[in-house]
Amino acid sequence: MTDTSFDVIVVGGGPGGYVAAIRAAQLKLKTAVVEREHLGGICLNWGCIPTKALLRSSEIWQLLKHADHYGFTVQNPSFDLGKIVKRSRTVAGQLSAGVKGLMKKHKITVFDGHGALDGVAGGLRKVRVAKDGKPVADIAGKHVILATGARARTLPGLEPDGKLVWSYKEAMVPEAMPKSLLVVGSGAIGIEFASFYRTLGAEVTVVEVMDRILPVEDEEISAFARKAFEKQGMKIMTGATVKALKKGAGSVTATVEAGGKSQDITVERVILAVGIVGNVEKIGLEGTKVKVEKTHVVTDGLFRTGEPGVYAIGDLVGAPWLAHKAMHEGVVCVEAIAGLHPHEMDTSNIPGCTYCTPQVASVGLTEAKAKAEGRQVRVGRFPYVGNGKAIALGETQGLIKTVFDARTGELLGAHMIGAEVTELIQGYTIAKTMETTERELMGTVFPHPTLSEMMHEAVLDAYGQVLHI
């Protein structure tokens, strides 16, 4: 008979939830996870991982189309969309099975169903587990961590229908390649889908309500990205709003308003990518002291809610909505529960990555935000075209930018666009976490020939010592 009493119960088996459970088990806490759908959550099954598999296929397609540049002859290349999608789903399935294996390895009890808080009894937090509306188990724990994640935001009149108007789920498993697409929203999700479909040949229009695409990124990087995307044939409309969608038999006509003018754009499919909302409904928050603001649970720096014994992590607690942030929050939360006195999360040290072509990555303050804080800054830049490895790879489109405090030499932020910057950014992330100064970065030896040399050069440039431009 399955045990029903635990030290820690985690409601939600996504990146934050399953990592929290593993860390709890490592600390000898008797742990359970309640997951209503797939272990690994949205990220692993319908987000971070399978989209990267799709984007890898589009990267290969791009290389095949330019094979002659590298000395190869490829006649009449073609792709099979069904196989591309199948590979993506296989990758997701493999990793979901891997998480299941990790639960077994760490002796974590997994309950298949929807979990909700159900009061307190005998000093323990009760959690009710149900599947398809039917009771599965009543369990109790000293501590309950809510990791229920978030879902795609919808807008009135623009709701996805799964056929002509897609959410991220439909966009990941297309039955056929659309000839034309309208992507509403130019954050990481919207731009990744826009990049994937454009690379495979679709006519893509991106509509963004803000005055620039990738609005959380440094303005210089956003401008560079827009120029690169438009060179690829992508159409981009900023300061624009989709006012209405009119559905036809096999197409959608969107009414888009920008600069006081309105125009109709007809496409085969629309992808809605306008942010997320927290999954705060039906998890038993009623009658508790858990506070919710703008669909996200409010916590302190150690992820405690206003209700004793109840914690929240991941997308449920707000921005930045990133899997790696959720994972780290899970570890911090559990270590606090275990009395290990971890450091509180510093969101300025969390890198963000967008896996479009070219890739975009950043950590810390943008130049504009640093100046808005009243800081005097020193800014360094280095272009991909000045790097030997980038030229050898045939990847000369890109830029590395660093932002330092002019008084202290503190690295405030780093912003990158170009090949493999989603891997390179971790170097700057470590530097920020360790509170490295410009002197230490300038004195670091970077291997040659590598793309990482540009990171060194961008630091040198901030202090008038750049070598290769």
- Is the pLDDT at 265 greater than 60? The verdict is yes
Q: How far apart are CA 233 and CA 205, in angstroms?
A: 9
Beta carbons of 314 and 16 less than 8 angstroms apart: yes
pLDDT tier for residue 37 given thresholds of 50, 70 and 90:
confident
Does one domain contain both 340 and 251? no
pTM higher than 0.75, yes or no? yes
Look at residue 158 and tell me if it is in a domain: no
- Is the pLDDT at 120 greater than 70? The verdict is yes
- Is the pLDDT at 1 greater than 50? The verdict is no
Positive or negative: CA dihedral 297, 360, 423, 408: negative
Q: For 51-95, how does the pLDDT look when each residue is reduced to its tens digit (9 = 90+)? A: 999 999 999 999 999 999 999 999 999 999 999 999 999 999 999
CA-wise closest residue to 442 among 459, 429, 425: 459
Q: How many residues does the chain have?
A: 469
Torsion of CA 442, 446, 448, 450, to 10 degrees: -110
| 3-state SS class at 354 | strand
Among residues 273, 299, 330, the one where a domain terminates is 273
pLDDT tier for residue 2 given thresholds of 50, 70 and 90:
low
Q: What is the DSSP letter of 304?
A: B
Q: Is residue 448 among the annotated active site residues?
A: yes
CA-wise closest residue to 166 among 151, 188, 184, 179: 184
Does one domain contain both 294 and 364? no
Look at residue 66 and tell me if it is in a domain: yes
Does one domain contain both 336 and 319? yes
Task: For residue 17, give the CATH number of its domain.
Answer: 3.50.50.60
Phi, psi for 7 (deg, rounded to 5): -75, -45
Q: How far apart are CA 82 and CA 92, in angstroms?
A: 15
Does one domain contain both 322 and 204? no
Task: For residue 448, give the CATH number of its domain.
Answer: 3.30.390.30
Catalytic residue among 296, 448, 456, 468: 448
Look at residue 468 and tell me if it is in a domain: no
β-pair partners for 354: 360
| 3-state SS class at 62 | helix
Among residues 241, 273, 305, the one where a domain terminates is 273
Does one domain contain both 141 and 36? yes
Give the range of the structural domain holding residue 239, as residue numbers without chain letter: 165-273
Q: Which of 1-15, 27-41, 161-175, 233-247 has the lowest mean pLDDT?
A: 1-15
- Cis status of the peptide bond prior to 358, with omega within 30 of 0: yes
pLDDT tier for residue 43 given thresholds of 50, 70 and 90:
confident
Beta carbons of 136 and 113 less than 8 angstroms apart: yes
β-pair partners for 237: 207
Q: For 274-308, how does the pLDDT look when each residue is reduced to its tens digit (9 = 90+)? A: 989 999 999 999 999 999 999 999 999 999 999 99
Q: Which of 95-99, 310-314, 363-367, 455-459 has the lowest mean pLDDT?
A: 95-99
| pLDDT given for residue 316 in this prediction | 96
pLDDT (average), residues 249-258 = 95
Q: What is the DSSP letter of 345?
A: P
Phi, psi for 44 (deg, rounded to 5): -75, -40
Q: How far apart are CA 253 and CA 247, in angstroms?
A: 6
Q: How far apart are CA 58 and CA 64, in angstroms?
A: 10
**Distances in whole angstroms, Cα of residue 170 to Cα of each of 28, 119, 193, 195:** 41, 38, 11, 16
Does one domain contain both 315 and 426? no
Look at residue 467 and tell me if it is in a domain: no
- Within 10 A of 374 (CB to CB), how many other CB atoms are there? 6
Look at residue 433 and tell me if it is in a domain: yes
Does one domain contain both 136 and 36? yes
Does one domain contain both 258 and 125? no
Does one domain contain both 215 and 231? yes
User: Which residues are CB-contacts of 18 (< 8 A; sequence separation ≥ 6)?
Assistant: 10, 33, 39, 40, 41, 99, 102, 103
Through-space distance between the first and last CA atoms of the chain, rounded to whole angstroms: 69
β-pair partners for 176: none
Q: How far apart are CA 311 and CA 283, in angstroms?
A: 13
Beta carbons of 18 and 40 less than 8 angstroms apart: yes
User: Which residues are CB-contacts of 94 (< 8 A; sequence separation ≥ 6)?
Assistant: none
Does one domain contain both 56 and 74? yes
Beta carbons of 329 and 303 less than 8 angstroms apart: yes
Look at residue 194 and tell me if it is in a domain: yes
CA-wise closest residue to 380 among 468, 458, 440: 458
Look at residue 144 and tell me if it is in a domain: yes
Does one domain contain both 448 and 331? no
Beta carbons of 247 and 238 less than 8 angstroms apart: no
The mean pLDDT value of the chain amounts to 95
Total tally of structural domains belonging to the chain: 3
CA-wise closest residue to 304 among 146, 123, 141, 121: 146
β-pair partners for 150: 278
Amino acid residing at 133: G
Q: How far apart are CA 49 and CA 97, in angstroms?
A: 13
Among residues 249, 273, 297, the one where a domain terminates is 273
Does one domain contain both 240 and 192? yes
Q: How far apart are CA 369 and CA 229, in angstroms?
A: 25
84, containing H or E segment:
helix 81-105
Rg (Cα) of the chain, in Å, rounded? 24
Q: What is the DSSP letter of 214?
A: S
- Is the pLDDT at 269 greater than 90? The verdict is yes
CB burial of 76-114 (b: ≥16 within 10 Å; e: otherwise) equals eeeeeeeebbebbeebbeebbeebbebbeeeebbbbebb
Q: How far apart are CA 135 and CA 116, in angstroms?
A: 11
Look at residue 41 and tell me if it is in a domain: yes
